[in-house]
Structure 1
């Protein structure tokens, strides 16, 4: 049990519906790691003797990485100049076939460290070696939505993987760990790596358990030509198999028609927009403005550290803004305020969560302290709100993150992780890479 505590900062960003800026703000955290008050200090309840943490900068919710394969840190840079399908078939999947549980643990641990140092407190992960990935996240103190990935490949049938996920959820529940840090999900890789039968079985199993289904959707034009020819589009296939009837997170969602977007919106599906990965792999640019105009819940994702190649969600905010403006010719297509919202409450909405991505009573105290003593805030905090948010997103970004809490527990102090030896974690990833990519060793 943690002690209740008050946090006081010159600026607090609750990430409410209008993404307001609270000056001289206070956030109260209860003994179980949930927020009990967020707002102006002048309206706060009595502190009642609880300890007070004075923060000289800006306090905001932890960022939400809505689509990642963070355990791939040992594969960073491998096949970096290949298109998506060649990159997967010729480099990544052969290397992952050599991955051991210890390699996945090492990769995920370093991935969590990197994200926490960037202020990312929650990540929606799709990967294998699920128990190792979860253990690494718990060790680092991160929050994770894990969707164990499955395919239909020789020696890797989807039926057994589906049963394993069912067994795990039935044994441990959808959420578990300190501060409910772990949520279990279903991870059918994509429509082009699984038959329709597998998607139908996934939809039924996930619906029975109220679980999120996390799946790659329409990432590149060439990947799912057969599915498009038979069903019209990948979202239409998802509707045919029942996946749109439950909680669904569509990763990438680059090549969608107006009808596809309406279909996702009508069924309440979320989208993880991954501008960095999609641009690097030349997969295309998702129709972000159309998705947002169509009332689709959109969060931001980094994708894996081998396809991005970092886990910096601040960079995704900037890329999302630049690409939205460049593709529409509209300098207001996506503002700093809107990008911040996508990285926090928008990511939570895409995941079907309302207890993260915001600083509000009842939500988990996943918080980030941003320093304002650098060149990015040379004009200070006493500037108009739009300028303050622009300085935060466009100029400051991850380099200004100083302290991070998850469920009220501090996991990063002065820019360094508190629960992990970062140097040792880096060495472990180097050893894993030497095993998985022997030609490069």
Structure 2
């Protein structure tokens, strides 16, 4: 007797992302009610399960969906607006004025849809977003069926969403309450950076973080200038954040390009999760995250693209390749951050960072069926000696064939199933014309 399942996938390879760093050949995945029921050899799967939706994925590889642990989704509508500039010039003279002029609920809805479409097509099944109108971003992610952590932005000065940090904190708690039963979307505090949020709001966030178990994501030690300015008051930012009670396993530190021994000790002792955004850091000349040193100290490191305004794409496969190669150059060691570790950073480590590793991030029984299928028969991937090597060191985003989130197929044969791509393109063009008309002085 065979058991009926919702979907049965037969693949040439499966990279489950496990402790043994397995690469399974001629294996299958059985999916039932949005979850992975079984991962087993294909011959055995054919004898054990039947399904109306049975896919023969010849020369294809299955792996967990990628997790983009930091970004600003709606900023896709600012892609290419201000390039080749230092971070503070980019922010103060271009991005913040543009946000003040154009950001609205409609901007966030359309920009987030554009970002989600790009991420899904390139294999991302979960993303963390830090931007204005987080309630709109949460609604958009839920509507399109993608998993997300939405970080509510908090800054001392007025933004399109809140007049000050206190109002931002109040609104964040409201959004958290409204989304508490959402199985796809979770809510986090998103204090922008140590240099834009003062002590009193951070103390309040630390208290609520403890009381409500709401994670905190923050840009930290992004540039040498930021750290040098903070040191003038006596404390480096990471030390200040520990003093304020923010550091801990649910604190997500983004960028972390400037790390001395004391910083490293604090990150490791407090089990802080670091989110590495190599391409944005390179483009803005922010510095190099010492990934190999962090990993060897026991600090969890995941990957993010940052926003498309500073990257300029949301291709996490590209981020994985850059992270692995850059880590070797920074460490002066070709063995630093080997390929399977880079894949873990883009999947299971991302899930651990967002506190959802019991739900997603690897392919194992009981976890959500957040899966991507990759065509390994393309010219650029042949011959296949080690599929893990191809995943990290060759261009892979355009080889994503299928994407499932919670067992629901959101990309089929490279095409989005839930999004009208032509309508989305037209909306992006219209926003581009509007922003260009108001940006004549740049």
How does the TM-score come out when normalised to structure 1?
0.93
* Alpha-carbon separation, structure 2, partners of 1:48 and 1:314: 33
Q: Structure 1 95/186 Cα, relative in aligned 2: closer, same or farther at 3 Å?
A: same
Secondary structure, aligned partner of 2:224: coil
Displacement of 1:88: 0.4
* 1:377 and 2:381 are equivalent in the alignment: yes
* 1:83 and 2:86 are equivalent in the alignment: yes
* 1:166 and 2:187 are equivalent in the alignment: no
Specify the alignment match of 2:191 in structure 1: 188
* Alpha-carbon separation, structure 2, partners of 1:39 and 1:17: 17
Matches within 5 A, 1:284-303: 284-303=287-306
Moved more, 21-30 or 391-400: 391-400
Task: Work out which of the residue numbers 238, 242, 247 in structure 2 matches 1:239.
Answer: 242
Specify the alignment match of 2:255 in structure 1: 252
Offset from partner CA, 1:52-76 (integer Å, 9 cap, x none): 2221211110001011111101100
Specify the alignment match of 2:354 in structure 1: 351
RMSD: 1.9
Secondary structure, aligned partner of 1:106: helix
Segments of 5+ residues of structure 1 without an aligned counterpart are none
Q: Tell me the number of residue pairs that the alignment of Structure 1 and Structure 2 aligns.
A: 430
Specify the alignment match of 2:267 in structure 1: 264
Displacement of 1:141: 2.2
Moved more, 410-419 or 229-238: 229-238
Displacement of 1:48: 5.1
Displacement of 1:37: 1.4
* Alpha-carbon separation, structure 2, partners of 1:236 and 1:305: 30
Specify the alignment match of 1:412 in structure 2: 411
Q: Would you say the 8 A contact 2:179–2:185 is kept in 1?
A: no
Q: Would you say the 8 A contact 2:36–2:365 is kept in 1?
A: yes
Displacement of 1:42: 4.9
Matches within 5 A, 1:38-437: 38-42=39-43, 44=45, 46-47=48-49, 51-56=53-58, 57-98=60-101, 99-154=103-158, 156-173=163-180, 176=182, 180-245=183-248, 247-354=250-357, 355-380=359-384, 383=385, 387-437=386-436
Displacement of 1:227: 2.8
* Alpha-carbon separation, structure 1, partners of 2:436 and 2:154: 22
* Alpha-carbon separation, structure 1, partners of 2:23 and 2:424: 37
* Alpha-carbon separation, structure 1, partners of 2:371 and 2:377: 19
Q: Structure 1 148/435 Cα, relative in aligned 2: closer, same or farther at 3 Å?
A: farther
Displacement of 1:396: 4.0
Q: Would you say the 8 A contact 2:249–2:273 is kept in 1?
A: no
Q: Would you say the 8 A contact 1:96–1:436 is kept in 2?
A: no
* Alpha-carbon separation, structure 1, partners of 2:379 and 2:240: 50
Q: Would you say the 8 A contact 1:227–1:237 is kept in 2?
A: no
Segments of 5+ residues of structure 2 without an aligned counterpart are none
Offset from partner CA, 1:233-285 (integer Å, 9 cap, x none): 21111111111145111010111112212211221211110110000000001
Q: Structure 1 43/196 Cα, relative in aligned 2: closer, same or farther at 3 Å?
A: farther
Secondary structure, aligned partner of 1:164: helix
* Alpha-carbon separation, structure 1, partners of 2:234 and 2:199: 11
